[in-house]
Amino acid sequence: MGSWELMSEESDSLRTSPSAASLSESELPPPPAPAGYVCSLTEDLVAKAREELQEKPEWRLRDVQALRDMVRKECPNLSTSLEDAFLLRFLRARKFDYDRALQLLINYHSCRRSWPEVFHNLRPSALKEALASGFLTVLPHTDPRGCHILCLRPDRWIPSNYPITENIRAIYLTLEKLIQSEETQVNGIVILADYKGVSLSKASHFGPFIAKKVIGILQDGFPIRIKAVHVVNEPRIFKGIFAIIKPFLKEKIANRFFLHGSDLNSLHSNLPRNILPKEYGGTAGELDITAWNAALLASEEDFVREFCQPGPPCDSILGQALPPEGLSSEAPCDDSMWAVKSQLYSCY
């Protein structure tokens, strides 16, 4: 069983109360009550969270309550979950800085309202074509630091089949599934992007407007820690793609990009062969997309509850808050095909 296959069981444990197990057979169980947070981290991960995220187990629920109180006081109209486990994601992503965690939570909801093409009807069953293409998957083994590896293969996308926003929807669903795991909240993720065979015309679809929105979400609008981005098999055209992306990257994230070209030995110095599929010189078998797709599709009901329910047209707090840079749908940006191609042609 791959490590990510345990996530569904782990998320269930967060909702399970231990009290029922302590009842004698003669006692009737009490009526179900809202389940509180139950930590699923190992001792090693508790220690890691303390060191890297400033998370103190003895103060964890106090910190969650402090963030909950801030939401109720400062953002009373923000339609959001206030459950312990949900708020804890944002605290961990911002190292238990209350103000930054609150801003991330506001940004998270602002992102979802500012890009309806991506977030409307966001459910796995609506993305079967994108998932079946093999554009993305999550490898079954984590890296030595415990990071799940999100593998992206843009060459598998055929633009005439569906728009690029479907790929972005698939990435977002995958992030939402991954972040349910407390391990991922602490360890973060690694991205492995294979640009083999990406042509000029395909690269043209990823212009500045799309780039700003995607990067805005990943950097400032989603509670996940991106520990590294490994790019392999990049053609010369990637210099143009990266030139589009880099202005929107924070220095910390930009420094976590590693371009390996076709040098798999360079990749293996960061991601060992025993966790990689044979397509990347690994020994973990062939790359398989079916298991991760099945995990997403099995979570259909969760995503329907989260993304497919009617809501108010606009939360007043979102109208007042500034979304992350690049996320405003009114942001001026020259994203014409000609402008993008001109920038990419300069790489040749």
**Boundary-marking domain end, from 74, 96, 114:** 114
* Residue 342, domain member (yes or no): no
Total structural domains within the chain: 2
* Residue 219, domain member (yes or no): yes
Structure tokens at 272: 């060992």
Please give the pLDDT value at position 337: 41
* Residue 79, domain member (yes or no): yes
Q: Are residues 155 and 184 in the same domain?
A: yes
* Residue 194, domain member (yes or no): yes
Q: Are residues 109 and 243 in the same domain?
A: no
Q: Are residues 135 and 192 in the same domain?
A: yes
Please give the pLDDT value at position 246: 86
Q: Are residues 105 and 140 in the same domain?
A: no
Please give the pLDDT value at position 340: 42
Q: Are residues 95 and 124 in the same domain?
A: no
Q: Are residues 69 and 196 in the same domain?
A: no
Q: Are residues 109 and 144 in the same domain?
A: no
**Boundary-marking domain end, from 79, 114, 149:** 114
Please give the pLDDT value at position 245: 84
**Helix H or strand E encompassing 138:** strand 136-138
Q: Are residues 193 and 258 in the same domain?
A: yes
Please give the pLDDT value at position 329: 40
Structure tokens at 158: 């055929």
Please give the pLDDT value at position 172: 97
Q: Are residues 247 and 108 in the same domain?
A: no
Please give the pLDDT value at position 279: 96
Q: Are residues 79 and 138 in the same domain?
A: no
Q: Are residues 281 and 133 in the same domain?
A: yes
* Residue 332, domain member (yes or no): no
Please give the pLDDT value at position 81: 95
CATH for 101 = 1.10.8.20
* Residue 6, domain member (yes or no): no
**227 class by beta-carbon count within 10 Å (0-12 exposed, 13-18 middle, 19+ buried):** middle
Q: Are residues 110 and 189 in the same domain?
A: no
* Residue 186, domain member (yes or no): yes
**Boundary-marking domain end, from 92, 114, 136:** 114
Please give the pLDDT value at position 59: 97
CA 152 to chain centre: 13
Please give the pLDDT value at position 41: 97
CA 29 to chain centre: 38
Handedness of CA 149, 153, 154, 157 (dihedral sign): negative
One pLDDT digit (tens) per residue for the chain, 348 residues? 565 555 555 544 444 333 333 334 344 444 343 458 999 999 999 999 999 999 999 999 999 999 999 999 999 999 999 999 999 999 999 999 999 999 999 999 999 999 999 999 999 999 999 999 999 999 999 999 999 999 999 999 999 999 999 999 999 999 999 999 999 999 999 999 999 988 878 878 887 888 889 999 999 999 999 999 999 999 887 877 788 888 889 999 999 999 999 999 999 999 999 999 999 999 999 999 999 999 999 999 999 988 876 655 444 445 444 455 544 444 333 434 434 444 443 443
* Residue 282, domain member (yes or no): yes
How many angstroms separate the Cα of 209 from the Cα of each of 172, 185, 248?
17, 29, 11
Range of the domain at 274: 120-306
End-to-end Cα spacing for the chain: 45
CATH for 296 = 3.40.525.10
Lookup result for tokens 């109208």: 319
DSSP strand pairing (148-152 vs 136-138):
antiparallel
